[in-house]
Amino acid sequence: MSIQAWLVRRKIKAAFRPKMPPGTPDAVRLENFDKSLKAMEKRLPGPPKGKCKIEKVNTSDGVQGEWITAKGAREDRVLFYSHGGGYVWGGPKPYREFGWRLSKALNAKVFLLDYHLAPKHKCPAPIEDALRAYDWIMANHPGVPVVMSGDSAGGGLTLAVAHAIRDSGRAQPKAISLISPWLDLTGSGDSIRGNADKEVMLDPDGIHYAADAYRGDIPADDPRCSPLYGMQAGLPPVFVQVGSDEILLDDSVRFEARAREEGVTVQLDVWRKMHHVWHFSAIIIPEGRKAIADMGTFFNRHFGN
């Protein structure tokens, strides 16, 4: 682990995991998480001026998001990206710098999906938003290879949408990448407790609040909100990256085992001592830049053009 990553982990833990006594109400935990996210959002850098094109999308039929294209990136490749934030936070703007890095690494246009958030909009509303946007992209980019990715809750959304695309008979994406994905809203993975003291961002005692806000009346093990429990057979190649210290580690480990058993080509990279979605810290830490470069290598093998 680089010294930069060590310092970033300390800052993240101080903001997101302050010491709280046992029995602290969920409302207090949620309030701290919300404040930390908003404070982080204010400090996030934008893409470098003059090196990125940003185009907002808001169609009459409800497709919302932004195109992020690094200077010189190809127009005949598309990455469809779903942001994280526990289904209760996030949008294209905080992801612009990251989107620019992805556009450079993949040599492709990046579509940052702006989906409806919980608790006002519950599952399957974000899935429907994503399918609508996917159909719009495919219709407006005939013959252009499309790949999909997402982090944390956006990783879970990406996999749920991939299931829906496959099951509906739509043309599938060429490949999928999942970053620290949240695939199991039941919280049954051993790492939820096993990594509780190592995790620097997510609260193992409070993560169920976001899960309940998103799933509503849908059972927590329904594949629409917990795609770990869905059928994985028939998916395109999948690349998964996760940190060894994350409470969500076992979501990735169990998915890799199930997907491989069902005949999916899947690669799981577990990064030692990395924090949740460390890619977001790429402006500071070399591990973030390397992980994004690895994504570029993976997708470049599958674009086919």
Of 246, 252, 256, 279, which one is the catalytic site residue?
246
Of 83, 275, 276, 279, which one is the catalytic site residue?
276
Please answer whether residues 59 and 77 qualify as being in contact, where contact means their C-beta atoms are separated by less than 8 angstroms: no
> In what side-by-side order are the strands of the sheet with 238-243?
52-58, 64-70, 109-113, 78-82, 146-151, 176-179, 238-243, 266-271
Residues contacting residue 275 through CB under 8 Å, at least 6 positions apart: 5, 8, 9, 12, 199, 200, 201, 243, 245, 246, 281
Residues contacting residue 197 through CB under 8 Å, at least 6 positions apart: none
Measuring CA to CA, which residue among 87, 258, 263, 82 is closest to residue 159?
A: 82
Measuring CA to CA, which residue among 67, 238, 261 is closest to residue 163?
A: 238
Judge whether 226 counts as a catalytic residue: no
Measuring CA to CA, which residue among 184, 208, 179, 200 is closest to residue 295?
A: 179
**The pair of three-digit structure tokens given for residue 267, joined into one six-digit string:** 């690669």
Of 82, 103, 149, 152, which one is the catalytic site residue?
152
Q: Could you give the angle at which helices 26-43 and 3-16 cross, rounded to 10 degrees?
A: 140
Judge whether 163 counts as a catalytic residue: no
Judge whether 276 counts as a catalytic residue: yes
Cβ atoms within 10 Å, residue 297? 12
Measuring CA to CA, which residue among 149, 182, 198 is closest to residue 248?
A: 182
Dihedral sign computed on CA atoms, order 8, 253, 236, 228: negative
Nearest-angstrom CA–CA distance, 277 and 199:
12
Catalytic residue numbers?
A: 152, 246, 276
